[in-house]
Structure 1
Amino acid sequence: MSITTTSLTRAAGLSAVVGGLLFIGVQINHPALSLDFVTSTEFAIRQGMKVGFTVLALAGITGMYLSQVRRAGVLGLVGYLIAAAGFLSMFALEVAALVVVPAIVHAAPGYVNDFIAVAMGGHAAGDLGLLTTFNSVVGVLYMAGGLVFGIALFRANVLARWACVLLAVATPLSLAIPLFPFINQRLFAVPTGLALISLGYSLWREQRTQVASAPVGSQAVPASVR
Protein backbone atom coordinates (compact mmCIF):
# COMPACT_ATOMS: atom_id res chain seq x y z
CA MET A 1 0.00 0.00 0.00
CA SER A 2 1.54 3.29 -1.15
CA ILE A 3 1.03 6.46 0.83
CA THR A 4 -0.06 9.32 -1.41
CA THR A 5 -0.72 12.98 -0.80
CA THR A 6 -4.35 12.32 -1.67
CA SER A 7 -4.76 9.60 0.95
CA LEU A 8 -3.01 11.72 3.58
CA THR A 9 -5.18 14.72 2.79
CA ARG A 10 -8.35 12.64 2.99
CA ALA A 11 -7.15 11.25 6.31
CA ALA A 12 -6.66 14.83 7.51
CA GLY A 13 -10.23 15.60 6.49
CA LEU A 14 -11.53 12.64 8.48
CA SER A 15 -9.38 13.74 11.43
CA ALA A 16 -11.07 17.13 11.40
CA VAL A 17 -14.50 15.48 11.29
CA VAL A 18 -13.75 13.18 14.23
CA GLY A 19 -12.08 16.03 16.13
CA GLY A 20 -15.15 18.21 15.69
CA LEU A 21 -17.41 15.40 16.86
CA LEU A 22 -15.27 14.91 19.96
CA PHE A 23 -15.32 18.64 20.70
CA ILE A 24 -19.12 18.67 20.59
CA GLY A 25 -19.57 15.31 22.28
CA VAL A 26 -17.44 16.16 25.29
CA GLN A 27 -19.67 19.16 26.04
CA ILE A 28 -22.87 17.10 26.32
CA ASN A 29 -24.07 16.82 29.91
CA HIS A 30 -20.64 17.90 31.15
CA PRO A 31 -20.77 18.00 34.98
CA ALA A 32 -19.57 21.04 36.87
CA LEU A 33 -15.86 20.88 37.63
CA SER A 34 -15.17 20.06 41.26
CA LEU A 35 -12.57 18.31 43.41
CA ASP A 36 -14.65 15.13 43.45
CA PHE A 37 -15.20 15.16 39.70
CA VAL A 38 -11.51 15.51 38.75
CA THR A 39 -10.75 12.21 40.49
CA SER A 40 -13.53 10.33 38.67
CA THR A 41 -13.30 7.99 35.70
CA GLU A 42 -15.67 10.24 33.77
CA PHE A 43 -13.24 13.13 34.12
CA ALA A 44 -10.41 11.00 32.72
CA ILE A 45 -12.58 9.93 29.77
CA ARG A 46 -13.70 13.46 28.98
CA GLN A 47 -10.17 14.81 29.28
CA GLY A 48 -8.96 12.05 27.00
CA MET A 49 -11.57 13.18 24.47
CA LYS A 50 -10.31 16.75 24.75
CA VAL A 51 -6.73 15.64 24.19
CA GLY A 52 -7.86 13.62 21.18
CA PHE A 53 -9.71 16.66 19.85
CA THR A 54 -6.58 18.84 19.91
CA VAL A 55 -4.49 16.22 18.12
CA LEU A 56 -7.11 15.50 15.44
CA ALA A 57 -7.91 19.18 14.93
CA LEU A 58 -4.21 19.93 14.41
CA ALA A 59 -3.94 17.13 11.86
CA GLY A 60 -7.09 18.41 10.17
CA ILE A 61 -6.01 22.03 9.78
CA THR A 62 -2.57 20.87 8.59
CA GLY A 63 -4.22 18.94 5.78
CA MET A 64 -6.46 21.90 4.95
CA TYR A 65 -3.51 24.25 4.71
CA LEU A 66 -1.24 21.95 2.71
CA SER A 67 -4.02 21.14 0.25
CA GLN A 68 -4.25 24.81 -0.77
CA VAL A 69 -0.92 26.26 0.31
CA ARG A 70 -0.49 28.34 -2.86
CA ARG A 71 -4.01 29.73 -2.83
CA ALA A 72 -3.86 30.53 0.89
CA GLY A 73 -0.80 32.74 0.53
CA VAL A 74 0.88 34.55 3.41
CA LEU A 75 -2.40 35.02 5.28
CA GLY A 76 -2.96 31.28 5.16
CA LEU A 77 0.50 30.59 6.56
CA VAL A 78 0.04 33.10 9.38
CA GLY A 79 -3.42 31.76 10.18
CA TYR A 80 -2.21 28.17 10.15
CA LEU A 81 0.75 28.90 12.42
CA ILE A 82 -1.43 30.72 14.94
CA ALA A 83 -4.10 28.02 14.88
CA ALA A 84 -1.51 25.24 15.14
CA ALA A 85 0.16 26.98 18.09
CA GLY A 86 -3.27 27.28 19.69
CA PHE A 87 -4.05 23.57 19.38
CA LEU A 88 -0.56 22.60 20.56
CA SER A 89 -0.92 24.86 23.60
CA MET A 90 -4.39 23.50 24.26
CA PHE A 91 -2.97 19.97 24.01
CA ALA A 92 -0.42 20.77 26.72
CA LEU A 93 -3.08 22.29 28.97
CA GLU A 94 -5.49 19.36 28.57
CA VAL A 95 -2.74 16.79 29.17
CA ALA A 96 -1.77 18.62 32.36
CA ALA A 97 -5.40 18.55 33.48
CA LEU A 98 -5.61 14.84 32.69
CA VAL A 99 -2.33 13.71 34.25
CA VAL A 100 -1.32 16.26 36.90
CA VAL A 101 -4.53 17.62 38.43
CA PRO A 102 -6.01 14.30 39.66
CA ALA A 103 -2.63 13.36 41.16
CA ILE A 104 -2.38 16.47 43.34
CA VAL A 105 -6.03 17.01 44.25
CA HIS A 106 -5.62 15.62 47.78
CA ALA A 107 -2.21 17.16 48.45
CA ALA A 108 -3.07 20.62 47.08
CA PRO A 109 -6.86 21.08 46.89
CA GLY A 110 -6.51 24.87 46.92
CA TYR A 111 -4.29 24.81 43.85
CA VAL A 112 -6.72 22.51 42.03
CA ASN A 113 -9.65 24.77 42.91
CA ASP A 114 -7.73 27.71 41.46
CA PHE A 115 -6.86 25.64 38.38
CA ILE A 116 -10.57 24.91 37.89
CA ALA A 117 -11.50 28.55 38.40
CA VAL A 118 -9.02 29.74 35.78
CA ALA A 119 -10.05 27.00 33.36
CA MET A 120 -13.64 28.19 33.60
CA GLY A 121 -12.66 31.80 32.91
CA GLY A 122 -12.60 32.92 36.53
CA HIS A 123 -9.84 34.16 38.81
CA ALA A 124 -7.53 32.25 41.10
CA ALA A 125 -7.53 33.00 44.80
CA GLY A 126 -3.92 31.91 45.11
CA ASP A 127 -0.77 32.01 43.01
CA LEU A 128 -0.75 29.68 39.99
CA GLY A 129 2.52 31.00 38.64
CA LEU A 130 2.63 31.16 34.85
CA LEU A 131 -0.43 28.96 34.47
CA THR A 132 -2.82 31.92 34.45
CA THR A 133 -0.81 33.64 31.72
CA PHE A 134 -0.49 30.43 29.74
CA ASN A 135 -4.24 29.84 29.90
CA SER A 136 -4.83 33.35 28.56
CA VAL A 137 -2.34 32.75 25.74
CA VAL A 138 -4.14 29.54 24.79
CA GLY A 139 -7.41 31.45 24.58
CA VAL A 140 -5.93 34.20 22.42
CA LEU A 141 -4.28 31.72 20.04
CA TYR A 142 -7.48 29.69 19.78
CA MET A 143 -9.61 32.71 18.88
CA ALA A 144 -7.08 34.49 16.65
CA GLY A 145 -6.07 31.30 14.89
CA GLY A 146 -9.64 30.35 14.05
CA LEU A 147 -10.41 33.87 12.83
CA VAL A 148 -7.36 34.35 10.60
CA PHE A 149 -7.27 30.78 9.31
CA GLY A 150 -10.99 30.86 8.56
CA ILE A 151 -10.58 34.07 6.56
CA ALA A 152 -7.62 32.58 4.66
CA LEU A 153 -9.60 29.45 3.80
CA PHE A 154 -12.51 31.60 2.63
CA ARG A 155 -10.24 33.60 0.35
CA ALA A 156 -8.63 30.45 -1.06
CA ASN A 157 -12.12 29.31 -2.15
CA VAL A 158 -11.35 25.58 -2.11
CA LEU A 159 -13.38 24.28 0.82
CA ALA A 160 -17.02 25.05 1.65
CA ARG A 161 -17.04 28.81 2.12
CA TRP A 162 -19.88 28.85 4.63
CA ALA A 163 -17.85 26.51 6.85
CA CYS A 164 -14.85 28.85 6.56
CA VAL A 165 -17.05 31.73 7.71
CA LEU A 166 -18.38 29.61 10.57
CA LEU A 167 -14.84 28.88 11.77
CA ALA A 168 -13.84 32.54 11.53
CA VAL A 169 -16.89 33.61 13.53
CA ALA A 170 -17.22 30.72 15.99
CA THR A 171 -13.81 30.91 17.64
CA PRO A 172 -13.84 34.65 18.50
CA LEU A 173 -17.41 34.14 19.72
CA SER A 174 -15.87 32.86 22.95
CA LEU A 175 -15.27 36.52 23.87
CA ALA A 176 -19.02 36.88 24.29
CA ILE A 177 -19.25 34.29 27.07
CA PRO A 178 -19.20 36.88 29.90
CA LEU A 179 -22.09 38.73 28.21
CA PHE A 180 -24.37 35.70 28.46
CA PRO A 181 -23.93 34.27 31.97
CA PHE A 182 -27.31 32.57 31.73
CA ILE A 183 -26.14 30.40 28.83
CA ASN A 184 -23.97 27.36 29.47
CA GLN A 185 -20.56 28.42 28.16
CA ARG A 186 -19.96 24.94 26.78
CA LEU A 187 -22.52 25.70 24.06
CA PHE A 188 -20.00 28.12 22.56
CA ALA A 189 -17.85 25.14 21.56
CA VAL A 190 -20.57 23.69 19.33
CA PRO A 191 -20.17 26.11 16.37
CA THR A 192 -16.42 25.48 16.28
CA GLY A 193 -17.02 21.73 16.32
CA LEU A 194 -19.53 22.06 13.47
CA ALA A 195 -17.05 24.17 11.49
CA LEU A 196 -14.33 21.51 11.84
CA ILE A 197 -16.76 18.74 10.87
CA SER A 198 -17.91 20.66 7.79
CA LEU A 199 -14.43 21.69 6.70
CA GLY A 200 -13.12 18.18 7.23
CA TYR A 201 -15.90 16.67 5.15
CA SER A 202 -15.37 19.31 2.47
CA LEU A 203 -11.65 18.47 2.34
CA TRP A 204 -12.37 14.74 2.17
CA ARG A 205 -14.98 15.21 -0.57
CA GLU A 206 -12.68 17.51 -2.56
CA GLN A 207 -9.95 14.87 -2.62
CA ARG A 208 -12.44 12.13 -3.48
CA THR A 209 -13.77 14.23 -6.38
CA GLN A 210 -10.25 14.79 -7.69
CA VAL A 211 -9.56 11.05 -7.63
CA ALA A 212 -12.85 10.24 -9.34
CA SER A 213 -12.23 12.81 -12.10
CA ALA A 214 -8.62 11.73 -12.74
CA PRO A 215 -7.94 10.23 -16.20
CA VAL A 216 -8.18 6.46 -16.41
CA GLY A 217 -4.76 4.89 -15.87
CA SER A 218 -3.38 7.84 -13.96
CA GLN A 219 -1.72 7.04 -10.66
CA ALA A 220 -1.35 9.15 -7.56
CA VAL A 221 2.22 10.09 -6.78
CA PRO A 222 3.46 8.70 -3.46
CA ALA A 223 3.96 11.44 -0.89
CA SER A 224 7.48 10.20 -0.24
CA VAL A 225 8.68 11.22 -3.71
CA ARG A 226 6.93 14.59 -3.97
Structure 2
Amino acid sequence: MKREEQGSFKITNDTMYHLSGFLLMISGAIYMIVQLIHPDGQLENAGTRMWFTVALLSMVMSLFIFIGLVGIYVRQVKESGVLGLLGILLTGLFWLLSMTFAFIEAFVLPLIASSSPEFVSGMMGLFDATPDETNLGVFPFIVGIAGFLYVFGGFAFGFATARARVFPKAPAMTFAFAALFTVFASFVPYPVNRIFAVPMAFALCWLGWAQVFMKPEQKKN
Protein backbone atom coordinates (compact mmCIF):
# COMPACT_ATOMS: atom_id res chain seq x y z
CA MET A 1 0.00 0.00 0.00
CA LYS A 2 2.86 2.41 0.77
CA ARG A 3 4.41 1.82 -2.64
CA GLU A 4 1.09 2.51 -4.33
CA GLU A 5 0.66 5.73 -2.36
CA GLN A 6 4.17 6.87 -3.20
CA GLY A 7 3.71 6.12 -6.88
CA SER A 8 0.24 7.60 -7.22
CA PHE A 9 -0.30 11.01 -8.82
CA LYS A 10 -1.93 13.58 -6.59
CA ILE A 11 -3.39 16.88 -7.76
CA THR A 12 -2.19 19.43 -5.22
CA ASN A 13 -2.76 23.16 -4.91
CA ASP A 14 0.72 23.77 -6.32
CA THR A 15 -0.13 21.63 -9.34
CA MET A 16 -3.22 23.71 -10.05
CA TYR A 17 -1.31 26.97 -9.51
CA HIS A 18 1.41 25.87 -11.90
CA LEU A 19 -1.16 24.80 -14.48
CA SER A 20 -2.91 28.16 -14.32
CA GLY A 21 0.44 29.92 -14.66
CA PHE A 22 1.41 27.92 -17.72
CA LEU A 23 -2.00 28.63 -19.26
CA LEU A 24 -1.44 32.36 -18.72
CA MET A 25 1.94 32.21 -20.43
CA ILE A 26 0.50 30.27 -23.35
CA SER A 27 -2.42 32.68 -23.65
CA GLY A 28 -0.06 35.65 -23.68
CA ALA A 29 1.85 34.13 -26.59
CA ILE A 30 -1.41 33.40 -28.43
CA TYR A 31 -2.60 36.94 -27.80
CA MET A 32 0.50 38.28 -29.50
CA ILE A 33 0.23 35.88 -32.44
CA VAL A 34 -3.45 36.71 -33.01
CA GLN A 35 -2.62 40.40 -33.40
CA LEU A 36 -0.10 39.56 -36.13
CA ILE A 37 -2.20 37.17 -38.20
CA HIS A 38 -5.78 38.42 -37.71
CA PRO A 39 -7.38 38.96 -41.14
CA ASP A 40 -9.24 42.16 -41.96
CA GLY A 41 -12.94 42.28 -41.14
CA GLN A 42 -14.03 41.95 -44.75
CA LEU A 43 -16.97 39.77 -45.73
CA GLU A 44 -14.87 37.61 -48.06
CA ASN A 45 -12.64 36.62 -45.13
CA ALA A 46 -15.48 35.12 -43.08
CA GLY A 47 -15.22 31.67 -44.63
CA THR A 48 -11.44 31.47 -44.93
CA ARG A 49 -9.23 29.05 -43.07
CA MET A 50 -7.25 31.92 -41.51
CA TRP A 51 -10.42 33.51 -40.13
CA PHE A 52 -11.47 30.20 -38.55
CA THR A 53 -7.96 29.58 -37.19
CA VAL A 54 -7.74 33.00 -35.56
CA ALA A 55 -11.23 32.69 -34.06
CA LEU A 56 -10.41 29.23 -32.70
CA LEU A 57 -7.15 30.50 -31.22
CA SER A 58 -9.07 33.37 -29.64
CA MET A 59 -11.48 30.92 -28.03
CA VAL A 60 -8.66 28.87 -26.55
CA MET A 61 -6.81 32.01 -25.47
CA SER A 62 -9.87 33.44 -23.69
CA LEU A 63 -10.49 30.18 -21.86
CA PHE A 64 -6.84 29.92 -20.79
CA ILE A 65 -6.81 33.52 -19.56
CA PHE A 66 -9.99 32.95 -17.56
CA ILE A 67 -8.58 29.84 -15.88
CA GLY A 68 -5.21 31.47 -15.34
CA LEU A 69 -6.58 34.61 -13.71
CA VAL A 70 -8.84 32.55 -11.46
CA GLY A 71 -5.71 30.65 -10.40
CA ILE A 72 -3.99 33.94 -9.59
CA TYR A 73 -7.00 35.12 -7.61
CA VAL A 74 -7.37 31.91 -5.61
CA ARG A 75 -3.78 32.20 -4.44
CA GLN A 76 -4.37 35.68 -3.03
CA VAL A 77 -8.09 35.60 -2.24
CA LYS A 78 -7.68 36.88 1.32
CA GLU A 79 -4.97 39.42 0.58
CA SER A 80 -6.65 40.98 -2.46
CA GLY A 81 -9.87 41.70 -0.59
CA VAL A 82 -13.04 43.20 -2.08
CA LEU A 83 -11.16 44.94 -4.89
CA GLY A 84 -9.65 41.62 -5.96
CA LEU A 85 -13.09 40.01 -5.99
CA LEU A 86 -14.52 42.86 -8.04
CA GLY A 87 -11.58 42.66 -10.43
CA ILE A 88 -11.83 38.92 -11.05
CA LEU A 89 -15.61 39.13 -11.53
CA LEU A 90 -15.35 41.93 -14.11
CA THR A 91 -12.30 40.73 -16.00
CA GLY A 92 -13.46 37.10 -15.81
CA LEU A 93 -16.80 38.05 -17.32
CA PHE A 94 -15.00 39.86 -20.13
CA TRP A 95 -12.98 36.80 -21.10
CA LEU A 96 -16.08 34.62 -21.03
CA LEU A 97 -17.75 37.11 -23.38
CA SER A 98 -14.63 37.12 -25.52
CA MET A 99 -14.80 33.34 -25.80
CA THR A 100 -18.47 33.59 -26.80
CA PHE A 101 -17.80 36.16 -29.51
CA ALA A 102 -14.89 34.09 -30.82
CA PHE A 103 -17.25 31.12 -31.06
CA ILE A 104 -19.65 33.24 -33.11
CA GLU A 105 -16.79 34.30 -35.38
CA ALA A 106 -15.63 30.73 -35.90
CA PHE A 107 -18.86 28.76 -36.21
CA VAL A 108 -21.77 31.14 -36.89
CA LEU A 109 -20.67 33.95 -39.19
CA PRO A 110 -19.23 31.70 -41.93
CA LEU A 111 -22.50 29.73 -42.07
CA ILE A 112 -24.71 32.78 -42.62
CA ALA A 113 -22.30 34.87 -44.71
CA SER A 114 -24.12 34.06 -47.97
CA SER A 115 -27.67 34.36 -46.64
CA SER A 116 -27.13 37.44 -44.43
CA PRO A 117 -24.09 39.27 -45.83
CA GLU A 118 -25.04 42.66 -44.38
CA PHE A 119 -25.38 41.28 -40.85
CA VAL A 120 -22.12 39.32 -41.10
CA SER A 121 -20.28 42.32 -42.51
CA GLY A 122 -21.62 44.45 -39.67
CA MET A 123 -20.54 41.92 -37.05
CA MET A 124 -17.07 41.68 -38.52
CA GLY A 125 -16.82 45.45 -38.56
CA LEU A 126 -17.98 45.48 -34.96
CA PHE A 127 -15.13 43.19 -33.93
CA ASP A 128 -12.66 45.44 -35.75
CA ALA A 129 -14.23 48.68 -34.46
CA THR A 130 -15.29 49.62 -38.00
CA PRO A 131 -18.42 51.82 -38.18
CA ASP A 132 -21.43 50.17 -39.84
CA GLU A 133 -25.08 51.21 -40.12
CA THR A 134 -26.45 47.66 -40.10
CA ASN A 135 -28.88 46.88 -37.30
CA LEU A 136 -26.99 44.41 -35.10
CA GLY A 137 -29.48 44.34 -32.26
CA VAL A 138 -27.96 44.05 -28.80
CA PHE A 139 -24.44 43.17 -29.99
CA PRO A 140 -23.03 46.75 -30.08
CA PHE A 141 -24.27 47.27 -26.51
CA ILE A 142 -22.60 44.03 -25.39
CA VAL A 143 -19.34 45.07 -27.04
CA GLY A 144 -19.51 48.40 -25.21
CA ILE A 145 -20.05 46.63 -21.89
CA ALA A 146 -17.19 44.25 -22.73
CA GLY A 147 -14.87 47.22 -23.24
CA PHE A 148 -15.77 48.52 -19.78
CA LEU A 149 -15.17 45.08 -18.25
CA TYR A 150 -11.79 44.76 -19.94
CA VAL A 151 -10.47 48.17 -18.91
CA PHE A 152 -11.83 48.60 -15.40
CA GLY A 153 -11.91 44.92 -14.49
CA GLY A 154 -8.33 44.45 -15.63
CA PHE A 155 -7.13 47.57 -13.83
CA ALA A 156 -8.93 46.62 -10.60
CA PHE A 157 -7.58 43.07 -10.69
CA GLY A 158 -4.02 44.16 -11.44
CA PHE A 159 -4.05 46.89 -8.76
CA ALA A 160 -5.53 44.52 -6.17
CA THR A 161 -2.89 41.92 -7.03
CA ALA A 162 -0.10 44.46 -6.60
CA ARG A 163 -1.57 45.66 -3.30
CA ALA A 164 -1.95 42.08 -2.00
CA ARG A 165 1.85 41.62 -2.16
CA VAL A 166 1.51 37.89 -2.85
CA PHE A 167 2.91 38.31 -6.34
CA PRO A 168 5.63 40.76 -7.44
CA LYS A 169 4.25 44.25 -8.00
CA ALA A 170 5.83 44.74 -11.42
CA PRO A 171 3.81 42.15 -13.42
CA ALA A 172 0.64 43.00 -11.50
CA MET A 173 0.90 46.73 -12.23
CA THR A 174 1.87 45.98 -15.83
CA PHE A 175 -1.39 44.02 -16.12
CA ALA A 176 -3.35 46.89 -14.56
CA PHE A 177 -1.95 49.61 -16.81
CA ALA A 178 -2.05 47.37 -19.89
CA ALA A 179 -5.82 47.17 -19.40
CA LEU A 180 -6.09 50.92 -18.85
CA PHE A 181 -3.82 51.62 -21.83
CA THR A 182 -6.35 50.13 -24.25
CA VAL A 183 -8.63 53.15 -23.75
CA PHE A 184 -6.44 54.96 -26.28
CA ALA A 185 -7.05 52.24 -28.89
CA SER A 186 -10.36 53.90 -29.80
CA PHE A 187 -8.44 56.94 -31.05
CA VAL A 188 -6.21 54.91 -33.38
CA PRO A 189 -7.45 53.43 -36.70
CA TYR A 190 -7.59 49.70 -37.37
CA PRO A 191 -5.33 47.70 -37.67
CA VAL A 192 -2.78 49.96 -35.96
CA ASN A 193 -4.87 49.83 -32.78
CA ARG A 194 -3.95 46.18 -32.35
CA ILE A 195 -0.61 47.33 -30.98
CA PHE A 196 -2.41 48.22 -27.76
CA ALA A 197 -2.83 44.49 -27.06
CA VAL A 198 0.94 43.97 -26.87
CA PRO A 199 1.35 45.19 -23.25
CA MET A 200 -1.46 42.89 -22.11
CA ALA A 201 0.12 39.91 -23.89
CA PHE A 202 3.40 40.67 -22.11
CA ALA A 203 1.64 41.12 -18.75
CA LEU A 204 -0.14 37.76 -19.09
CA CYS A 205 3.16 35.99 -19.74
CA TRP A 206 4.80 37.78 -16.82
CA LEU A 207 2.00 36.99 -14.36
CA GLY A 208 2.02 33.37 -15.51
CA TRP A 209 5.78 33.19 -14.99
CA ALA A 210 5.38 34.55 -11.44
CA GLN A 211 2.66 31.99 -10.71
CA VAL A 212 4.84 29.10 -11.86
CA PHE A 213 8.37 30.00 -10.86
CA MET A 214 8.20 32.33 -7.86
CA LYS A 215 8.43 30.47 -4.57
CA PRO A 216 5.77 31.20 -1.93
CA GLU A 217 8.28 32.62 0.55
CA GLN A 218 9.54 35.00 -2.16
CA LYS A 219 6.02 36.24 -2.86
CA LYS A 220 5.33 37.11 0.76
CA ASN A 221 8.39 39.32 1.14
TM over 0.5: yes
C-alpha displacement of 1:79: 0.7
**Alignment correspondent of 1:158:** 166
Counterparts in 2 of 1:53 and 1:182: CA distance versus 1, 3 Å: closer
C-alpha displacement of 1:22: 0.6
Aligned mates of 2:163, 2:216 — CA distance in 1? 20
Match of 2:81 among 63, 73, 77: 73
Following TM superposition, the consecutive aligned residue runs of length 4 or more in structure 1 with deviations greater than 4 angstroms are none
Match of 1:142 among 121, 146, 150: 150
C-alpha displacement of 1:172: 2.1
**Alignment correspondent of 2:13:** 5
Aligned mates of 1:136, 1:114 — CA distance in 2? 15
Match of 1:111 among 104, 112, 119: 119
Residue identity matched to 1:16: L
C-alpha displacement of 1:179: 2.7
C-alpha displacement of 1:42: 0.9
C-alpha displacement of 1:123: 2.9
C-alpha displacement of 1:51: 0.5
**Alignment correspondent of 1:130:** 138
Residue identity matched to 1:161: K
**Alignment correspondent of 1:121:** 129
C-alpha displacement of 1:182: 8.0
C-alpha displacement of 1:210: 4.3
Match of 2:205 among 192, 197, 202: 197
Aligned mates of 2:79, 2:139 — CA distance in 1? 37
Aligned mates of 2:191, 2:103 — CA distance in 1? 27
**Alignment correspondent of 2:72:** 64
Aligned mates of 1:182, 1:123 — CA distance in 2? 11
Aligned mates of 1:181, 1:24 — CA distance in 2? 19
The answer to whether the Cα contact below 8 Å between 2:39 and 2:50 also exists between their aligned partners in 1 is no
Aligned mates of 1:182, 1:20 — CA distance in 2? 21
C-alpha displacement of 1:183: 6.9
Provide TM-score, normalisation by structure 1.
0.88
**Alignment correspondent of 1:45:** 53
**Alignment correspondent of 2:6:** none
Provide TM-score, normalisation by structure 2.
0.90
Q: CA RMSD in A?
A: 1.5
Residue identity matched to 2:121: N
Residue identity matched to 1:122: T
